[in-house]
Structure 1
């Protein structure tokens, strides 16, 4: 694991109540591109009924690439982590999933949800 202070700070600023996953993605997009990830890669599921599925990011590797997904508020409420696991399972070009989820999410009524612990279980 690596830590880049500007990215960590940017994620902290972007990860606020009501923000979208896209806002968090915008913070990490430059670094993901530098690491060889392609944003919203099309065609990975072309042989599937749901051919329009796209991961947030994809990095091709010999023997099987990496899907990288960013989830936020809907991770627990809508089980959005499960479709990401499913996408990795059915993608013939991917063998790995990097799933970025918040450790804690604060709801509109200031209640903390421990998202990471729930997904880990």
Structure 2
């Protein structure tokens, strides 16, 4: 925040920079806003998938590691929305137990059930690294 205040002061003047002091930037507020934006984007992507050409789409999943060396399942989706082919990031879930196929499929099934997607309309690709 101090850097933002200084930058605004140099670009817009001290009067405008003082207005930044009224903005709440607590950790909870910022985290909540990021979560709200992510949820909104997920809902938009899910709606486009459900409205896609014949309801068909393809998925690609890959395993990766985060900065703490924990296994993470990444999911990407490709679908046709109106006249455009779209590729979007769909999910990122921790693989808490193992990275075996059964655990991966359980996570994917859980995501599909939770979000009302039909697995029968899917072409699935899993890349194991």
TM-score, normalised to structure 1, is 0.25
Which structure has the larger Rg? 2
Question: Per residue, is there more helix in 1 or in 2?
Answer: 2
Question: Per residue, is there more strand in 1 or in 2?
Answer: 2
